[in-house]
Amino acid sequence: MAAGPWERLEGHEQVVVGSDPGTGLRAVVAIHSTALGPALGGTRMYPYPDEDAALADVLRLARAMTYKNALAGLDHGGGKAVIMGDPRTDKTPELLRAYGRLVASLGGRYVTACDVGTYVEDMDVVAEVCPWTTGRSPAQGGAGDSGILTAVGVWQGIRACAQHLWGSPDLAGRRVGISGAGKVGRRLAAHLAEEGAHVVVADPSAAALDAVRDEVPGVEIAASTEDLVERDLDVFSPNALGGALTRDVAARLRAAAVCGGANNQLAEEAVADLLAERGVLYAPDYLVNCGGVIQVAEEVHGFDMDRARARVLRVFDTTVRVLDRARAEGVTPEAAAAAEAEDRVAAAAATAPRFRTF
């Protein structure tokens, strides 16, 4: 029997549904935890098929943000927002301001930023009516494109996987397949190529592939993500939308490790076990893709790129620690990462008030 609404919301402190008929806004804000501080997470705009799909997505994403922020060492809890609609046709300044008023109504319990379908210029509009907005342009005192440091964190995660598997973080000569050549995948390809890795990229967008060719000389272009799955790779790196790691992909994947920037890579929790059974090392997405949230969190204190980048470089140490814990405890890296995050949240929650408002 499908879970009822209360069961689906269990574990989240607050879920707010907002609408504004005048602008067409339909949005959901989910606050999973504020034990470590105000919830921080991006705003996703996507043409969900229905309200149930939007709610399911925002609940998963908010929970992952709690873990991501905890593992990143931030004094922020986890939250996320989704706007139902096609960002190419439905997004307007008026809709974004209506969304900003929704976030502002929460009084700072949720701090928003960019995600799939929203961009720096959108956050500048949201910030016109909502002071709890990050991911703004440098001209507005913000950090700009959070993909810059997200890519740095994933790169450090891949180096940690190499250390765990082969005893050295050196990526020279390693074959890395990147699925998704967007703002994270393209920058990740450049970092890997600079280390001497052989980089293979797949993306359905010809424009994205042209951009990565221009920025990363020598990059190889694969026919598709399916092509990458079937290749002999050292690392497979999903950097597009979530759900890339299905049971079928886990059964066919020929890479030694999976480490990428996409959120919610596991199509279902059992896939983590399937990968482990096949000896494929999986670095959980929320462990390694925290560079973006570290970048925007810096805005709260006055943005400094050098300070933010130094913090993101610590993803290497955190990932090594989590992978070592998984090995020592005989559990999957997914379980070890979740336990590491929950340990920090539980310690904070012991002294923090907890709100549950639906």
Q: Which residues form the catalytic set?
A: 80
Angle at Cα 342 formed by Cα 325 and Cα 110, nearest 5°? 135
Angle at Cα 113 formed by Cα 110 and Cα 116, nearest 5°? 125
Residue 82, classed as helix, strand or coil, is: strand
**Which tokens is 337 given?**
């990462």
Return the amino acid letter for 159: R
Q: How far apart are CA 134 and CA 130, in angstroms?
A: 10
Q: How far apart are CA 246 and CA 160, in angstroms?
A: 24
Nearest to 60 by CA among 22, 30, 91: 30
Maximum Cα interatomic distance, the chain, rounded to a whole number of Å: 58
Angle at Cα 218 formed by Cα 217 and Cα 223, nearest 5°? 115
Nearest to 18 by CA among 64, 49, 47, 55: 55
